[in-house]
Amino acid sequence: MSAEPTRVTVPVTVIGGYLGAGKTTLVNHLLRTADGLRLAVLVNDFGALPIDRDLIVGSDGDTLEISGGCICCSYGSDLMEALLELPRRRPGIDRVLIETSGVALPGMVASAVGLLQGYALDGVVVLADAETVRRQAADAYLGDTITRQLAAADLVILNRCDLVGDAARDETVRWIEGQAPNGRVVPAERSRVPAELVLGLRGGAGERASNVLRTPGGVAVSVLYESLELTLDRAVDVEQMVRALTASDSGVLRAKGSLRDREGRLVILQIVGRRAEITDAPAGATPGTLVAIGLKGRLDRAAIDRGLGLAVI
């Protein structure tokens, strides 16, 4: 009797935000920096041709062939059907990106994804326009949509920060932090953030998910971000480590590492914003390394070291 094939769970990242916030620009950026990942991008329609033309190598009906083994599919009004059809149409996809419409609620899309076998929600990313998001949120017609989009976010990318002053940017960051209780806010220009901040937010399943956050030498860090690598060769108090890395003075936006807990169990620790997830490490994982990404100049190594010093057993 032949063994049943291994069932692969594909991580899904939902990308939301109001009209014109920069969602498509982010998708194009991720396709350019996918580092060999085979991405499937699902969008409402191709009306505005969301994918940069120089990335397209062919088209077939509602599917665009993208360089690097990626594809872009239009799902129209039936996203669930498109996801169910995807493994048949394109086996071997590493990750799925869903770009929602500007007026959609990404939290509802994320909930629907969680009902499908073969997929695992890997995070909700919401883009906001630094110039207009607060004005939109105060609008009698738009406000509910804007605030509900932000509330669902694991990560908020505050885009177009080059169009506002530093004081206005920082004030808007503080305001968004009050709207997104489970997410952190990162400033950006032209939707350019390291792919490591966007993919793997909840430690999504899949064969390559554990490789999303790489060591500093492999992190595509822009001028706005920096990273550090910590070596932890002893057992640690994982809960204390979580408190250290999520503290407001740490400056950590995203962290991932494999380590031994109090019981000697090898686990994977994932942190994004204020959210932390601890799971059993996959076979072959090597303990003792943690990588963190933060804003340049705000990633406080001394504060992190103090907190982690309390965690080491």
Domain with CATH 3.30.1220.10 in the chain: 223-311
b/e burial code for range 33-43 (CB count within 10 A of at least 16 → b): bbeebbbbbbb
CA distances from 268 to 12, 165, 175, 211, 282 (A): 19, 39, 32, 12, 8
Q: What is the pLDDT, as a whole number, of residue 46?
A: 53
Q: What is the pLDDT, as a whole number, of residue 90?
A: 85
Q: What is the pLDDT, as a whole number, of residue 1?
A: 44
Distance, CA of 262 to CA of 252 (rounded, Å): 24
For the chain of 313 residues, list the mean pLDDT of each consecutive stretch of 10: 58 92 91 86 69 82 83 83 88 92 90 89 93 93 93 93 91 92 86 84 48 36 67 83 81 81 85 77 74 78 75 67
Q: What is the pLDDT, as a whole number, of residue 39?
A: 92
How do beta strands 119-129 and 155-159 pair? parallel
| Best CA proximity match to 127, nearest among 294, 255, 14 | 14
CATH fourth-level superfamily of 10-198? P-loop containing nucleotide triphosphate hydrolases (3.40.50.300)
Q: What is the pLDDT, as a whole number, of residue 88?
A: 87
Domain with CATH 3.40.50.300 in the chain: 10-198
CA distances from 287 to 108, 141, 154, 229 (A): 36, 51, 26, 13
- % helix, strand, coil for the chain, step of 5: 30, 30, 40
| CATH 2.60.40.1120 for the 223-311 domain, yes or no | no
Q: What is the pLDDT, as a whole number, of residue 137?
A: 94
Distance, CA of 259 to CA of 287 (rounded, Å): 5
